[in-house]
Amino acid sequence: MRGKILRLRTISRLGAGILLYVLIEAALFRTGLYTWILDPDSSTGTIETLIRNEKWRAVHDRNQVLAVGDSRMGILPRLANEHNVGYWFSSIAIGGSTPRCWYYFLRDTDPTARRYAAVVIPVNDYDLRDAADNFADRLLDLNFVIGHLRLGDLAEFSRSFREPSARRTAFRDGLIKGLVYERDFQEFLLHPLARLEHVRIIREGSAGWAYNFVPENHSLAGLSVDWAARKIHFPEGLTEPQRDLIRAILLQPQARQTGASAAYHRYWFGRILDYYRGSGTKLIFIRLPRAPALPPHLPPPNPASPLRALGAQPGVVLLDEHRFDELERPELFGDPLHLNGEGILRFSRFLAEEVRRILGPPVVAHAF
């Protein structure tokens, strides 16, 4: 009898401990409270700052255009806005993010689905060819979206991963958010006052710093490629790691085409379209400038691409995929993937012009 009582006490204490942990975990990490004190320099903290700044930005009409994307999304809103096309541009693009992330970012940045006249979404190519990156099983996405996952999202979010182990991790970490925040929380506990001061400084100044950012203008002018011999002539001044990166990007073999990329993008772009369907917000897809040098023989366009089919739906526009071809020059790239300052200037202005052409004159609205 005594042993049974001890077991019951042990079980009740264990249950109470688990319940207490669940309550604390929910209060800290599921209410959004902890996102206010995240390290602003982390990937999770950076996207929270971007989204918070965008939501706090004063908006007086719907003549707003939001860009999403990763680090290759070369729009600098200040440059687009200085072009004075009648629409106000902003961006929540962040390096390392993927279309799966963009869906959750947009849902929380634009909870009514009616804040923007258009959302600009970048792709590397309209054919959605398979590449070396496997977006479907990219667990890094958890770091970006953890602050935006709701309990009701867990089934869909975890099922979107293909590997069973990735599905289990996505579900577990989405359910127990402290597993994702653990390292950041430990660092906060070590230096709480320093973290709070850093957060305060970033909160007060980050919107202005980001808007007035001036990109570097280093270029790859002088770079050329002998595609037959697979040799690259490099401009002077590049380090060996920089040369290795250029070789790895420009000379990488084409990935085996399985249709995985098309299926992934079809799903997440479809989710974004579903979210904005009937809202009056246009989704404008663009093909980014691809590289400072391109091989002479590229695969022909695939008319059956799911993105091309998506472009036929109401509210969706596929910008001419060759619109930014003129920027695919070494002097407008700072590395094999990213435009430099001059390239960003031209891209931002070209994009502003195209958005104005697509949307037409801005609507003069009453109080928004």
Residues 24 and 108 in one domain: no
For residue 136, being part of any structural domain is answered with yes
**Calpha distance 358→353 (Å, rounded):** 9
Residues 15 and 136 in one domain: no
Residues 2 and 124 in one domain: no
For residue 138, being part of any structural domain is answered with yes
> pTM for the whole thing?
0.91
pLDDT per residue, tens digit, the chain (368 aa), is: 666 665 655 555 544 444 444 545 655 676 778 999 999 999 999 999 999 999 999 999 999 999 999 999 989 999 999 999 999 999 999 999 999 999 999 999 999 999 999 999 999 999 999 888 889 999 999 999 999 999 999 999 999 999 999 999 999 999 999 999 999 999 999 999 999 999 999 999 999 999 999 998 999 999 999 999 999 999 999 999 999 999 999 999 888 889 999 999 999 999 999 999 999 999 999 999 999 999 998 888 888 899 999 989 999 999 999 999 999 999 999 999 999 999 999 999 999 999 999 999 998 764 44
Residues 283 and 254 in one domain: yes
For residue 366, being part of any structural domain is answered with no
Residues 12 and 148 in one domain: no
Number of domains in the chain: 2
**Calpha distance 267→365 (Å, rounded):** 35
For residue 223, being part of any structural domain is answered with yes
Q: How many residues does the chain have?
A: 368
| Other CB atoms within 10 A of residue 166 CB | 19
Residues 164 and 25 in one domain: no
For residue 87, being part of any structural domain is answered with yes
For residue 367, being part of any structural domain is answered with no
**Quick one: tokens of 71?**
């680090």
Residues 53 and 26 in one domain: no
For residue 81, being part of any structural domain is answered with yes
Residues 139 and 274 in one domain: yes
Residues 20 and 167 in one domain: no
Question: Which residues form the domain of 153?
Answer: 32-359
**Quick one: tokens of 321?**
């995929």
Q: Is the dihedral of CA 60, 64, 70, 72 positive or negative?
A: negative
Angstrom CA distances, 303 to 69, 309, 322, 334, stand at 24, 8, 15, 32
